[in-house]
Amino acid sequence: MKIRAAITGIDGYVPPDLLTNKELEQMVDTSDEWILSRTGIRERHILKGENRGTSDMAAEAVKGLLKKTHTSPDEIELLICATVTADLHFPATANIISHKAGIKNAWSYDINAACSGFLFALATACQFVESGLYKKVIVVGADKMSAIVDYTNRDTCVLFGDAAGAVLLEPASGEEGIMDFILRTDGSGEEFLHMKAGGSRRPPSYETIDAKEHCVFQEGQSVFKFAVTKMADVSAEIMEKNNLKSEDISWLVPHQANMRIIDATARRMGISKDQVMINIDKYGNTTAATIPLCLWEWEKRLHKGDNIILAAFGGGFTWGSIWVKWAY
């Protein structure tokens, strides 16, 4: 029987400090009403403190995951971290997370696929388990978006928050686990969503700092148009490909960028809103962390055999969907 990779545990970390819409009203020309009606966001969490980065949140999630699943750090063979807010350009944040969580017998690396990062990392990790090579792999989705947000720009500063989520992947019998995935990229999307400087094309300089080119740049409306069609299309496509009907689906776990994109995806799949995991109101867009954060919050309501569709769209452009049959 085919070995499948199943999610066998999940944990998350959200930093304690809140940034509410009301507070943002004091910082830029915006309103609670605008943010809530256009995005669905009420508040987001921000990681504060000197020298604290994405790895600090991710390490908390990984340590929690190890404890919850009664797994020794020594048993982990591979750790993959999806992030666009690496602690440093190098070494990889995954290496730092492994070190902080006491994982010593593994190799680890980062994946950069922006808001689709967790899906790309999960599909990659899945191969190592399905091939029979590894028995315990951790996939992390974590971002400290507050590090790359310009809090004087209302176009982006209302959207993002900080968080981390981590899952354990183990071999399963063949009945449950990661059943299928469809993942895509389109590099022509770069112009609509990117960070202008800090990379090899435009290294940091006084000029890039003055121009705030180390912050997220997004042409919201253009990204919205792509996101709303691609995320809905790819979610419908994975259902058709696997002959899944609306009534077969227990949950949609969408990337949390905008309530209107989430609604359009659910409509396209023919499922009702109470089958959609939504926590954008509390956390905003935490980039690679949104999907594991939802699974973590809903964990107690999930049942063995539930058909779950994970779906995301993000910078790159990157997008995709994964069909998971919940394993516990």
Touching ligand UT7, residues 23-82 (CB under 6 A): 30, 34, 38-39
Q: Between residues 27 and 133, which has the closer beta carbon with respect to ligand UT7?
A: 27
Which of 81, 115, 215, 294 does the annotation list as catalytic? 115
Q: How far apart are CA 25 and CA 41, in angstroms?
A: 13
Catalytic: which of 21, 95, 279, 285?
A: 285
Beta bridge pairs of residue 319: 184, 313
Q: Are strands 177-185 and 318-325 parallel, antiparallel or unpaired?
A: antiparallel
How many positions of this chain bind ligand UT7 (CB under 6 A)? 20
Distance of closest approach, residue 275 Cβ to ligand UT7, in angstroms: 21
**Per CB under 6 A, 285 contacts ligand UT7:** yes
Tell me the per-residue interface mask from 110 to 129 with ligand UT7, x by CB under 6 A, - otherwise: -----x--------------
85 binds ligand UT7 (CB under 6 A): no
End-to-end CA distance of the chain: 19
- Residue 231 buriedness (CB in 10 A; 0-12 / 13-18 / 19+): buried
95 labelled catalytic: no
Q: What angle do CA 147, 152, 156 make, to 5 degrees?
A: 65
Among 258, 286, 318, 321, binds ligand UT7 (CB under 6 A): 258
With CB atoms as reference, the residue minimizing the distance to ligand UT7 is 220
Active site residues: 115, 255, 285
| Residue ranges in contact with ligand UT7 by CB under 6 A | 30, 34, 38-39, 115, 154-155, 158, 220-221, 223-224, 227, 257-258, 261, 285, 313-315
